[in-house]
Structure 1
Amino acid sequence: MKKVMLKTTLSFAVAMASTQIFAAGFAINEQSISGMGTGFAGRSSSADDASTIYGNPAGMARIKREQVTGGVALLDAHTDISKTSSSPNGGTNKGDMVPFIAVPMGYYVKPIDDQWAVGVGVYAPFGLVTDYEGGFAGRYFGSKSDVKVVTLQPTISYAFNDKVSIGFGPTINRIAGALESDLSITQAAPDGKVKIKGDDTALGYNVGVLVQATDSTRVGLTYHSKVKYKLDGDTKVNYGVLALAGQATRQKYDASLDLTTPESVDFSVTHQLDDQWTLYAGSTWTRWSRLKEITVENKGVPAVLNGQFGNITEEQDWHDTWAHAIGASYQLNKQWVLRTGFTVDQAPTNNTDRSPRIPTGDRKIFSLGAGWSPTDDLTIDVAYSYLREDSAKINLTNARGQSYSAKYENSANGFGVGATYRF
């Protein structure tokens, strides 16, 4: 019976993983529109605008004028589901489970003197929204998820000289989420619903170093810390067959979940080839292996139902991942800069535990972008990215004999627009 609930209630962590975000697992890459144009190849070394607060806080030392940077990325995902099989038989597989998603961001940097600078950023490092159609064939393994993480990062940087700078920012992270799945204990009874929601606030940090290695080459290294959450909320069950056990058809239990989002290390190089061409390269390592298993604790569950709705653990066995990117920008004239980039990104999931909530495979991303500066005070950035994933297979069976198998082929379009204003 545990397996039924494991695949239906599971946890917020599994709900957050999705191919619809332009980074592996449940991470979001879209913290900079200018960086989006180069595939984030120079994320920790470019320091083009105030979004360096996320990319590398040491990069604030390169910003000589007080400025504010803001923007939004729009994500449009598409999924083709084929080779499906389910038990009980029937159900749909439309694949249109992801709504049009907007990811906002905003940053402010103020230089204090030639050495010190301060700033603050607000961005979304993790998140997901998925909503399968009613009657989805895999509804017992996940039907709806809505999870968001918002981070506030006050930041300070210090330049030792014109070659080396460091930066540090504590992060205040707010997570809130809700997920739903269908529940069927006997095939003779109609489906019920399981709904879980919870939230928490936790602290982390972002630290980086930036080195001007030569007159034309910069290297950057950024560390984003892990963040430990304890989500508190409730689990609601609406299922008529519970009356057979002497229980009401609606139950609500206090729920909690310990979740750690992983640390990551980003290393990149920015090389100015000449007055027009700049080249970028970077790699990011993420410690997804922290997600070995997930335990949801439901309190106040009657003894007769404890095996179904009590403490539940599932193995995830995610693995660490690498993402690699290359990019380039071309300064067409004083007003216009053109950008492009290409990224390859590993998926942390494995073929045994992959579910409809995480139907993700390794991905490739092609990016284009441009920056327009009509004045010395204002720059407007736009970007476009196209993501294509390797096909991913799902093959799940639970203790009640319910099963779902399918082949997922995922793609997505990302659009970004932002602006930087210098005071």
Structure 2
Amino acid sequence: MTVKHHHKTPVFRLLGLPGVLGCTLLGSTLLASPAWAGGILVYEAGQEGAGLANAGAAVLATDPSILMNNPAGISQLKGTQLNMDAQVILGDITYSRDSGNTFSGGNGGNPLPYFPGTSLFISHELDDRNSIAFGMYGNFGLALDYDDDWAGRYFTQESAIVGVSFQPTYAYKLTDDLSIGVGPRFMYGYYRTEVAVNNNVLGLGNAPDGQLVYKDGDWGVGYNLGLLYRLNERVQLGLAYTSKIDLKFRDSPTLKHITNPLLNVALNRLDVDQLKVDMTVPQTVLASASYKIDDQWTLLGSLNWQDWSQFGKIGVEVDSNAAGTSTTVDRKYRDTYHASVGAQNQINAKWRWNVGVAYDSSAVDDKDRTVDNPMNQAWRFATGLNYALDENTDLHLNYTLIWMGDMDDVQTKTRSGDSVSGEYRNAMLHVIGGGAVWRF
């Protein structure tokens, strides 16, 4: 991700302000993204496979939601099928200040009390070889909303990014055992952030904070590719690639209650309406396998790579001192890796039970963690049930615990040296989802 503030000259002179404005603009452009749980995309979209913690995601062709992970999978679906899902993410990620904190204010409360989502998938078998489908889903996006007066308010108060994907899909059976699929992916991204502005330059005075609000939306285009291969009667293999999607946000920030005259002059000289936020939704590679032990039990697994190093590069040319300097900041994100295993138990003709566990590496080192996006390695523990209401209708319900544990977080203003310092203790997310599948 690249965030730049362009100006006619390469060096910004802020009338001797010790980086107050620069640090404020820096804080305003850092995203609270779906990287919340370890530099990962949100695998859950309410679909039945969410109960497997992403295990076997590229081979589990039980309903049209397979197009989200492997477009080749719709070749396995008979007739016309409709899948509608909903879910809610409940967060438990409170921050606790420690003795290293130098900002006034509280701990911020729970910044993610809940985050809802829905999805819709439909597939149609044209003939024995050709299938088409369409999906609308949101597997990219989370939001944070801290108390406005918390200790980290000069880094972020509220930040949200939501990506909704629209994916027409086509799959073709090359042979009875090998299928390929492709789906162009159109994503609408919405970004909003709020950050406090310190009106008390050099720590002098007792003026209330101002605020900077920035929001915009943009469309980006990418694609999904997939292969599905049945090795034999027991083993299926799936391989899928998701391309990157570039989103560019270009709206003007709104400034509220800026009472310091020096800040007003500096803002005018910086021409803040040129502030830009560029973000890259990462490309991914997913490999999955399933092994059918018998008519009741199937084992599944997945390995996944995600290119978060592209997402995390930020250049902010607004931090300066009396001499006038330009500073570039790198979030130092790195690529992440995912591994998951799971099992399906077809208990009887009506009931199917799913269970899975997964691990995702962290996109940041502990020293690079930020309060607007407190990433960490994450463990997933998932389970779910599918119930066949009748021959053509299935209902499913699933639950996932995403465990991130303890996360230290220290951020320091470049010029003032003031820090927000503390820890997220026992951080976790609860994901509850469910839906229905109709076959026609």
Q: TM-score, normalised by structure 2?
A: 0.87
- Tell me: CA distance 1:14–1:170, structure 2 relative to 1, closer, same or farther (3 Å): same
What RMSD, in angstroms, separates the aligned Cα atoms of the two structures? 2.6
**In 2, Cα distance between equivalents of 1:26 and 1:274:** 33
Q: Separation in 2 of the partners of 1:360 and 1:102?
A: 20
Percentage identity across paired residues of the two chains? 28
Q: Would the aligned equivalents of 1:26 and 1:127 in 2 still touch at CA under 8 Å?
A: no
Q: CA deviation at 1:355?
A: 1.1
Aligned to 1:403: 419
Aligned amino acid, residue 359 of structure 1: P
Alignment deviations for residues 67-103 of structure 1 (CA, whole Å, 9 cap, x no partner): 0111012111102433524654431115411131112
Q: Is the 8 A contact 2:160 2:191 kept in 1?
A: yes
Q: 1:280 to 1:72 in 2, by over 3 A?
A: same
Matches within 5 A, 1:220-235: 220-235=238-253
Partner residue, 1:412:
429
Amino acid aligned to 1:267? A
Report the AA paired with residue 35 of structure 1. Answer: G
Corresponding residue for residue 348 of structure 1: 363
In the alignment, is residue 169 of structure 1 matched against residue 180 of structure 2? no
User: What SS class does the counterpart of residue 332 from structure 2 fall into?
Assistant: coil
Among candidates 207, 211, 227, match of residue 225 of structure 2? 207
Tell me the amino acid that sits aligned with residue 247 of structure 2. Answer: Y
The alpha carbon displacement at 1:343 in A equals: 0.8
Kindly tell me the number of residue pairs found equivalent between the two proteins. 414
Cα 1:312/1:270, change in 2 over 3 Å: same
1:141 aligned partner, one-letter code: F
Give 1:328-407 correspondences, 5 Å limit.
328-398=343-413, 399-407=415-423
Aligned 1:188-199 pairs, distance under 5 A: 188=205, 189-199=207-217
Secondary structure of the corresponding residue to residue 255 of structure 2: strand
Tell me, in whole angstroms, the C-alpha distance in 2 between the residues paired with 1:408 and 1:200: 32
Aligned to 1:422: 439
Gaps of 5+ in 1: none
Query: 1: CA distance between counterparts of 2:116 and 2:178?
Result: 36
Q: Aligned pair 1:16/2:33, yes or no?
A: yes
Shift of residue 244 of structure 1?
3.5
Structure 2 residue runs of 5 or longer lacking an equivalent are 1-17
Cα distance between partner residues in 2 of 1:18 and 1:203:
20
Q: Within the alignment, does 1:118 sit opposite 2:136 as a pair?
A: no
The higher relative CO (CA closer than 8 Å, separation ≥ 6) is in 2
Quote the offset at 1:324 in angstroms.
0.7
Separation (CA, whole Å) in 1 of partners of 2:287 and 2:263: 57
One-letter amino acid of the structure 2 residue matched with residue 43 of structure 1: A
Is 1:56 paired with 2:70?
yes
1:91 pairs with 105, 109, 127, which one?
105
Local SS of the residue matching 1:51: helix
1:60-79 maps to which residues of 2 (within 5 A)?
60-79=74-93
Q: Does 1:262 align with 2:261?
A: no
Counterpart residue identity of residue 413, structure 1: H
Give me the TM-score of the superposition, normalised by structure 1. 0.91
